């Protein structure tokens, strides 16, 4: 009798110290009985931070555009202000975050309680790897050239009007010439003509330098400097007729979450030439961009193995930690019939959810999930 009682007490103490911990998926029903301390963890999932650079092109009509063809013979010039958008770059950065659809509560075993298991959990929590830093550098610049923006001509001019007056001088009727100075405002056509004349003068001066018509011989550096300065000056004045195109980079960021549909196209954004960037997909599919995820390792055979094994009469289902391993996935950018490879990324959603055996007190679950 005493021997039987001793064995019973030993088994009771042994099972209490090394009792299997319980793992429950949230939400837990009201019939679940939890008496020991607990902690919660969430399986990870992979998200993509998508950094998009869109180039906005603004075409600005020149001040003298209406006289470009008549005075300079230029036919290719900006006739009205307009703008357009075009994709310049897309960068995809994967990062890991908690998957709210897979949350679990774990009841600690006595061994874990004695070994301060919770302290090590929070020190090595997976959340320390959370990173969403952008790898696209943003800059802010003033793209409008100062000369084009600040150009101003003197619009007042002096005009001279000559006429004769009849005067009696020494009893003799005499016609006397009179000149009167007036201040008038130049018309836009007059201003344009002066700018066109100045362009012609620049071209003549440059020709004189290039043909060595001047009496003074220039050193190579001085020669190049003068020619470059004349070229730049001509360009600035020509822009008053032709107009200019201003290019500005616009930075947009969004976050998308792949799922486990292997060949599904994941909507990213729409970039319309007239409306620019939008997270809503455009009716015209040629403006839409998608991510295509193509797994390189199928979990179908693994899933079939677990299902077959579970049908065995002596099979006992596992009741421990749930984990999920990320799988390598080819990720490409799709736009219309064009597909561009972005890289190979490890995505947790494509991995198979596995249940481990119970009683793994030393298992480092903090490396497999977010502890909270």
Q: Is 317 inside a domain boundary?
A: yes
Torsion of CA 332, 336, 337, 341, to 10 degrees: -10
Q: Is 236 inside a domain boundary?
A: no
Q: Is the pLDDT of residue 216 over 50?
A: yes
277-304 per-position pLDDT tens digit: 998 888 888 899 999 988 877 666 666 7
Closest CA to 157 of 190, 126, 124: 190
Output 299 or 85, whichever has higher pLDDT. Answer: 85
Output 255 or 185, whichever has higher pLDDT. Answer: 255
- For the question of whether the overall pTM of this predicted structure is more than 0.85, the answer is no
Task: Compute the distance between CA of residue 174 and CA of residue 181 in angstroms, rounded to an integer.
Answer: 23
Task: Compute the distance between CA of residue 292 and CA of residue 249 in angstroms, rounded to an integer.
Answer: 26
Confidence label for 17 from pLDDT (cuts 50, 70 and 90) = very low
Collect all residues with Cβ–Cβ distance below 8 Å to 337 and sequence separation of at least 6.
none
Q: Is 131 inside a domain boundary?
A: yes
Closest CA to 359 of 112, 28, 41: 112
Output 102 or 219, whichever has higher pLDDT. Answer: 102
335-360 per-position pLDDT tens digit: 988 999 988 998 998 888 888 888 88
Mean pLDDT (whole number) for 132-145: 54
Q: Of the spans 13-22, 119-128, 338-347, which averages the highest pLDDT?
A: 338-347
Instruction: State the pLDDT at residue 48.
Output: 92
Instruction: State the pLDDT at residue 250.
Output: 92
Q: Is 198 inside a domain boundary?
A: no
How many C-beta atoms lie closer than 10 Å to residue 287's C-beta? Answer: 20
Q: Is 341 inside a domain boundary?
A: yes
- Outline where the chain has alpha helix (H): 2-17, 68-72, 110-114, 117-123, 146-150, 188-210, 220-242, 300-310
Query: 158: helix, coil or strand?
Result: strand
Q: Is the pLDDT of residue 84 over 90?
A: yes
Domain of 279? Answer: 2-146+247-371
Collect all residues with Cβ–Cβ distance below 8 Å to 71 and sequence separation of at least 6.
64, 192, 193, 196, 241
Task: Compute the distance between CA of residue 57 and CA of residue 86 in angstroms, rounded to an integer.
Answer: 8
Question: Which letter does DSSP use for residue 76 in this model?
Answer: S
In the chain, how long is the greatest CA-to-CA distance?
166
Kindly report whether the peptide bond that precedes residue 133 is cis, defined as omega within 30 degrees of 0: no
Task: Compute the distance between CA of residue 106 and CA of residue 363 in angstroms, rounded to an integer.
Answer: 12
Q: How many domains does the chain have?
A: 1
Q: Is the pLDDT of residue 2 over 50?
A: no
Q: Is the pLDDT of residue 43 over 90?
A: yes
Instruction: State the pLDDT at residue 285.
Output: 84
Mean pLDDT (whole number) for 219-236: 90
Output 236 or 182, whichever has higher pLDDT. Answer: 236
Bridge partners of 54?
87, 250
Residue 23: burial class (beta carbons within 10 Å; 0-12, 13-18, 19+): buried
Output 236 or 13, whichever has higher pLDDT. Answer: 236
Mean pLDDT (whole number) for 61-83: 91
Q: Is the pLDDT of residue 122 over 50?
A: yes
Residues in the chain: 372
Q: Is the pLDDT of residue 210 over 60?
A: yes
Q: Is 137 inside a domain boundary?
A: yes
CA 110 to mean position of chain CA atoms: 50
Q: Is the pLDDT of residue 56 over 60?
A: yes
Q: Is the pLDDT of residue 239 over 50?
A: yes
Token pair of 339 as six digits: 């597909």
Q: Is the pLDDT of residue 214 over 50?
A: yes
Task: Compute the distance between CA of residue 334 and CA of residue 290 in angstroms, rounded to an integer.
Answer: 5
Q: Is 342 inside a domain boundary?
A: yes
DSSP string, 216-241: SPPPHHHHHHHHHHHHHHHHHHHHHH
312-339 per-position pLDDT tens digit: 656 577 788 999 888 888 899 999 889 9
Output 27 or 124, whichever has higher pLDDT. Answer: 27
Q: Is 273 inside a domain boundary?
A: yes
Confidence label for 1 from pLDDT (cuts 50, 70 and 90) = very low
90-110 per-position pLDDT tens digit: 888 999 999 999 999 998 888
């Amino acid at each position: 009798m005493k021997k039987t009682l001793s064995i019973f007490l030993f088994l009771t103490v042994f099972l209490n110290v090394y009792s299997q911990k319980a793992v429950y998926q949230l939400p837990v029903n009201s019939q679940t009985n939890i008496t020991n301390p607990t902690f919660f963890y969430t399986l990870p999932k992979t998200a993509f931070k998508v950094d998009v650079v869109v180039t906005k092109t603004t075409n600005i009509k020149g001040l003298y555009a209406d006289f470009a063809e008549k005075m300079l013979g230029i036919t290719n010039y900006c006739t009205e202000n307009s703008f357009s958008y075009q994709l310049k770059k897309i960068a995809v950065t994967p990062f890991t975050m908690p998957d709210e659809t897979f949350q679990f509560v774990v009841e600690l075993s006595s061994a874990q309680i004695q070994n301060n298991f919770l302290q090590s959990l929070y020190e090595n929590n997976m959340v320390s790897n959370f990173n969403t830093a952008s790898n696209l550098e943003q800059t802010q610049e003033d793209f409008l050239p100062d000369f084009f923006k600040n150009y101003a001509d003197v619009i007042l001019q002096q005009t001279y009007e000559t006429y004769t007056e009849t005067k009696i001088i020494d009893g003799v009727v005499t016609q006397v010439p009179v000149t009167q100075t007036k201040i008038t405002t130049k018309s836009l056509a007059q201003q344009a003509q002066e700018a066109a004349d100045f362009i012609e003068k620049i071209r003549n001066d440059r020709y004189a330098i290039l043909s060595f018509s001047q009496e003074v011989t220039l050193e190579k550096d001085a020669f190049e400097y003068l020619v470059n300065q004349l070229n730049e000056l001509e360009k600035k004045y020509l822009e008053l007729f032709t107009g200019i195109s201003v290019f500005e980079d616009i930075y947009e960021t969004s976050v998308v979450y792949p799922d486990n549909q292997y060949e599904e196209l994941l909507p990213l954004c729409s970039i319309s030439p007239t409306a620019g960037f939008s997270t809503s997909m455009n009716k015209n599919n040629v403006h839409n961009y998608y991510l295509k995820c193509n797994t390189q390792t199928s979990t179908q055979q693994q899933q079939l193995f677990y299902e077959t094994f579970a049908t065995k009469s002596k099979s006992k289902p596992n009741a421990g930690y749930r984990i999920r391993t990320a799988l390598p996935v080819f990720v490409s950018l799709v736009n219309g019939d064009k597909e561009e490879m972005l890289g190979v990324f490890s995505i947790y959603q494509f991995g198979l959810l596995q249940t481990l055996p119970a009683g793994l007190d030393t298992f480092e679950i903090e490396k497999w999930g977010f502890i909270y």
